[in-house]
Chains A and B, each alone.
Chain A
Amino acid sequence: MSRNVIVWAVVIIVSAVGGALIQGQIDQKSAPVAAKSEPKSAPAATTPAAPAQTAATGGTLDAVRQRGSVLCGVNTGLAGFGIADSQGKWTGLDVDICRGVAAAVLGDAEKVKYTPLTTQQRFTALQSKEIDILSRNTTWTLGRDTSLGLNFVGITFFDGQGFMVRTASKVTNAKSLNGATVCVQPGTTTELNLADFFRSNNMKFQPVVIESLQELTGAFVAGRCDAMTTDISGLVSIRATQAKPDDFLVLPDVISKEPLGPVVRHGDDQWFDIVKWTIFAMIEAEEKGITSANVEQMKSSEDPAIKRLLGVTAGNGEALGLKEDWAANVIKLVGNYGESYDRNIKAQLGLERGINNLWTKGGLVYAPPVR
């Protein structure tokens, strides 16, 4: 009888494992079918302005239209980029990107649902479709652009990593930090750049790695670290909130490139295009002198580039799968890039435009032709 038991056990285990494998096969086969069937039913629910041929390429736009809101992943609270006030109203340069996309797609910049995310949660939230756009001062790197299954849309802020020290320490440049203890947040490109900088200069350092920015700043202010490192915009923001900002000095050295920008999922090219051209429209508007205040007058401009941008000359909207007034809505409801920068980065952090000025004014901000 014991032999019988063994035979039965083997049969059951084999069939169970086999069943699991077959199940996996079925899922793989059924998946593309499900993906294809989705857009078929979707156009019925979309606004009439959406041309049918573009709706077939991706799911995010249809999902946003059906839901009536854009799901936006933002910082848990970083002045100038993404921070909620006491009424729960979100402001910031990163927040404005999501508001711009909502204005372009839905014609209403307020139809955004915000999800505050830590550095550790941000990519998973986007991968698992909890959000449509990740707009959270995220540095564009090759690794993130490829192995995470994500696409970086563009650059909305050119940042660079720097160091902040105590003024009393008499340190005036980063090269004299050999042997220093440095406070840094984990899971960031900052942590890697820090190690690279000290390695390439044959210098030694001791990292103190704390996840919460508040705890980390507290440790630095208390003297646990000789220097604190993060993006310069962040250092300026932290210095400005100290009781005595003059006790701290942001060193002039910039040790890395930190191009920050929004991220979307791989594989939905239409949504990728919409977010990308929303940003370009904001940049182009600044270059052409179109602001939230004068956008209506500008519609009667004779400049063909302005007429195309504002949808007076049709074509751009249809190409993106949006209404022709998409860019006009972005500018009217959110403003051009310069307006957003001044309202957020300059007003809240006191940072001048610098390399974030338009290419026509000596900066790096540049948009391809909107035509």
Chain B
Amino acid sequence: MAFWNDRHTRGVLYQVAALGGVILVGGILVSNTMDNLARQNIATGFRFLTREAGFGISEHLVDYSPADTYLRALYVGLLNTLRIALSGIALATLLGIVVGFARLSSNWLVARLASVYVEVTRNVPVLLHLFFWYAVVTQAFPSPGAALEPITGFFLSNRGVAISWPGLGVPTLDGFNFRGGAVLSPELSALLIGIAIYTSGFIAETVRGGILSVPKGQLEAARSMGLTGWQVLRFVTMPLALRAIVPGTTNQYLNLAKNSALAVAIGYPDFVSVANTTINQTGQAIEGVAMIMAAYLTLSLLISAFMNWYNRHVALIGERS
């Protein structure tokens, strides 16, 4: 039999041909773009990354000054994105679990309040959450000179929260702003609260759905064996519920990571914000947008891979593949 009559071989050939087609189209696009840019005398390539950035970034987890390169600036932005994504995921999960359980509470008031929380948070666009919390932080608190100090060494002002921190010292007002101590800026606070609360509404519903998905018989069986309420939750409800909760929560984590790009609206210097400034200063939009896409794709795939690993970990033995 000739190989083109073999069904399996033909399948492989079709796939290779399709891949070839994709590469062809991609190649034409890339070569045409490069050609057009060259004809219009527009600079291309990534050489700009080693040039001096020249702009300031308010929040940096590693040392940064305007004399550093664009590459360093983008690295600072990437760390800021990771910081907001990870802390946002942690806070949203915590809130989501609490509210998800609260909505199943037998206490009428707690359950109703949780329902209102879920409906309000997940039905308001995330951008409005950010503007709302940013306005709260900047408008509701006094200037640094008249900062609130509810606890000694804990200052609340429209410049954010300044806290005494071991190794960083006590915050003191020096000129315009607080010096020393740990500072949580209004932009980071508003962004963290905004996206965490928004996402927690969705996570709460996933958690509630997961718990409700546990067959009643399992719980009755557990109780009839003499397990206490806590033991039922710990050894029966949660292991079974997690299987339903994890995939849905993964989606919410991915959404949260991507929504963090809205930071640009309220001035938190995340990766998109720094990359946008870079695009503007260098004029190299294609390279800049490609880097933004690559960064978010990598971040999303990493979150996804981790959650898939965790999902397999919590799956029933018989269902693991």
Contacts and interface: CB of A to CB of B under 8 A. Distances in A.
Interface in B43-66: 43, 54-58, 65-66
Contact of A120 (B12, B20, B279): B279
A24 interface: yes
A13 B27 CA distance: 12
B283 interface: yes
Nearest to B284: A147
A137 to B, nearest CB: 15
Contacts of B139: 222
B259 interface: no
Given A4-B9, A212-B265, A215-B266, A21 B31 contact: yes
B54 A16 contact: no
B166 interface: no
A300 interface: no
B172 interface: no
A350 interface: no
Given A209-B267, A267-B41, A181 B176 contact: yes
B281 A181 contact: no
Interface stretch (B91-99, B212-220, B243-251, B269-277): B269-277
A120 B184 CA distance: 29
A194 B56 contact: yes
B169 to A, nearest CB: 16
A179 B35 contact: no
B285 interface: yes
B31 A23 contact: yes
Contacts of A65: none
Nearest to A16: B20
B186 to A, nearest CB: 6
Given A195-B55, A199-B67, A219-B138, A13 B20 contact: yes
A20 B28 contact: yes
A43 interface: no
A24 B27 contact: yes
B39 A209 contact: no
Interface in B223-274: 264-267, 269, 273
Interface string B133-177: 011001100010000000000000011000000000000001111
B282 interface: yes
Interface string B49-87: 000001111100000011100000000000000000000
Given A147-B282, A224-B138, A127 B176 contact: no
B58 A206 contact: yes
Contacts, number: 171
Contact of B66 (A13, A195, A266): A195
Most chain B CB atoms below 10 A, which of A9, A222, A266: A222
Nearest to B42: A149
A187 B283 CA distance: 10
Given A4-B3, A179-B176, A195-B55, A13 B41 contact: no
Nearest to B27: A20
A13 B54 contact: no
B40 A267 contact: yes
B6 interface: yes
A208 B264 CA distance: 11
A124 B288 CA distance: 13
Interface string A1-44: 10011001100110111011101100110010000000000000
Contacts of A194: 55-56
Interface string A123-138: 1100100000000000
B54 A195 contact: yes
Contacts of B43: 147-148
A359 interface: no
Interface string A60-98: 000000000000000000000000000000000000000
A25 to B, nearest CB: 8
Given A5-B3, A199-B67, A219-B267, A12 B20 contact: yes
B280 interface: yes
B24 interface: yes
B19 A13 contact: yes
Given A181-B177, A267-B41, A207 B27 contact: no
Contacts of B273: 186, 209
Interface in B1-53: 3, 6, 9, 12-13, 16-17, 19-21, 23-24, 26-28, 30-32, 34-35, 37, 39-43
Contact of A211 (B24, B158, B265, B283): B265
B283 A148 contact: yes
A1 B3 contact: yes
A211 B23 contact: no
A148 B177 contact: no
A188 B277 CA distance: 8
Nearest to B187: A208
A208 to B, nearest CB: 5
Contacts of A181: 159, 176-177
B186 A224 contact: yes
B23 A16 contact: yes
A196 B42 contact: no
A289 interface: no
Interface of A: 1, 4-5, 8-9, 12-13, 15-17, 19-21, 23-24, 27-28, 31, 119-120, 123-124, 127, 143-144, 147-149, 177-181, 186-188, 191-192, 194-196, 198-199, 205-212, 215-216, 218-219, 222-224, 226, 265-267
22 contacts: A1-B3, A5-B12, A9-B12, A9-B16, A20-B24, A20-B28, A21-B27, A23-B28, A119-B280, A120-B279, A124-B285, A127-B42, A147-B283, A148-B283, A149-B37, A186-B276, A187-B280, A188-B280, A206-B56, A208-B187, A215-B267, A216-B267
- Listed from nearest, the 10 A-B pairs whose CB atoms lie closest are A20-B27, A187-B280, A24-B31, A16-B20, A195-B66, A149-B41, A147-B43, A210-B267, A149-B42, A149-B40
Given A13-B20, A27-B35, A147-B282, 4 more contacts: A16-B23, A180-B175, A219-B267, A222-B158
